[in-house]
């Protein structure tokens, strides 16, 4: 009788969980805004890099300065030595304007998400590793599962696993803040108001180089993220992030 009563008492909680959206509305909105902004930044950033595909360290860098490294691509400016006998069309105008606009939309979107995540407890509930996962053994097991490309367990439909939690923490609280910081360090107007933005990085060219490397890290994350979503069930995961469809019952995937 006690077991029956307990089961009956827990029915509303189970039903409520089954009907609950997999992702909150604000998470879904900020996710797709961030995606659109990042793609706009990526396209416009590539056009900006094409104008001078050489990277330096320090405050200054030009065609007479030995680069830290160069991209093996033609430039859109004839004065940049690339080894190619031609130049690409110069798209520096619209690309800089789009890069600037998309960057500020991303900053405000990210600020909204971080504030909401802290106030609502989203980070504590969904991103911080659970008590039983805070060990090297738990991390090694989770990494081994991912390296085997094992299909996600049904429980992963209800919450992020350990590798996802740690990866999202690094992306949200390390990579994105750094890429925003290095971007601001290349803005003359912002640097004139806050000089420490660029001096702490070692110079404007250092900021540009770090900005590029951080972008490469974020693009790598994006490719792995999309691949894992595809592997786990692309239509189900994407639909849930668009509509907030209820998470499937345990064992249904």
Contacts of 190 (CB under 8 A, 6+ apart): 184, 197
pTM to 2 decimal places? 0.83
Local confidence pLDDT in tens for the 253 residues of the chain: 434 343 344 333 444 455 567 788 999 999 999 999 999 999 999 999 999 999 999 999 999 999 999 999 999 999 999 989 899 999 999 999 999 999 999 999 999 999 999 999 999 888 887 766 666 666 666 666 666 555 665 555 556 777 888 899 999 999 999 999 999 999 999 999 999 999 999 999 999 999 999 999 999 999 989 988 888 778 888 888 888 876 554 444 4
Task: Report d(CA 122, CA 113) in Å as an integer.
Answer: 10
Are the C-beta atoms of residues 179 and 171 closer than 8 Å to each other? Answer: no
For the chain, the first-to-last Cα distance in angstroms comes to: 33
Task: Report d(CA 104, CA 209) in Å as an integer.
Answer: 20
H or E stretch covering 148: none
The secondary structure of the chain in percent helix, strand, coil, rounded to multiples of 5, reads 70, 0, 30
Are the C-beta atoms of residues 112 and 30 closer than 8 Å to each other? Answer: yes
The encoded tokens of residue 221 equal: 């994350």
The encoded tokens of residue 237 equal: 């995961």
- In this predicted model, what pLDDT tens digit does every residue of 179-218 receive, in sequence order? 999 999 999 999 999 999 999 999 999 999 999 999 999 9
Q: Which domains are present in the chain?
A: 19-243 (1.20.950.20)
Which pairs with CB-CB distance under 8 Å and at least 24 residues apart come from 130-133?
Answer: 133/162, 133/165
- How confident is the model at residue 210, as a pLDDT? 98
Helix (H, G, I), strand (E, B) or coil at 142: helix
Q: Give, in order, the Cα–Cα distances in Å from 131 to each of 124, 160, 171, 213, 231.
A: 11, 14, 21, 33, 28
Helix (H, G, I), strand (E, B) or coil at 55: strand
């Amino acid at each position: 009788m006690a077991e029956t009563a307990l089961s009956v008492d827990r029915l509303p909680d189970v039903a409520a969980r089954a009907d609950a959206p997999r992702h909150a509305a604000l998470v879904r909105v900020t996710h797709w805004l961030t995606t659109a902004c990042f793609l706009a930044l990526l396209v416009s950033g590539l056009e900006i890099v094409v104008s001078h595909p050489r990277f330096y360290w320090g405050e200054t860098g030009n065609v007479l300065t030995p680069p830290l490294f160069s991209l093996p691509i033609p430039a859109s400016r004839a004065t940049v030595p690339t080894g190619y006998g031609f130049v690409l069309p110069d798209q520096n105008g619209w690309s800089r304007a789009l890069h600037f606009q998309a960057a500020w939309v991303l900053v405000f979107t990210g600020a909204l998400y971080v504030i909401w995540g802290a106030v609502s407890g989203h980070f504590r509930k969904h991103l911080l590793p659970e008590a039983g996962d805070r060990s090297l053994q738990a991390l090694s097991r989770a990494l081994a599962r991912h390296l085997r490309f094992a299909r996600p367990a049904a429980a992963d439909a209800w919450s992020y696993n350990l590798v996802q939690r740690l990866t999202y923490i690094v992306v949200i609280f390390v990579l994105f803040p750094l890429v925003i910081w290095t971007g601001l360090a290349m803005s003359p107007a912002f640097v004139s108001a806050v000089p420490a933005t660029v001096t702490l990085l070692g110079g404007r060219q250092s900021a540009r180089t770090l900005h590029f490397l951080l972008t490469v890290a974020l693009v790598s994350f994006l490719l792995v993220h999309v691949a894992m979503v595809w592997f786990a069930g692309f239509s189900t995961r994407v639909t849930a992030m668009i509509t907030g469809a209820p998470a499937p019952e345990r064992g249904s995937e």
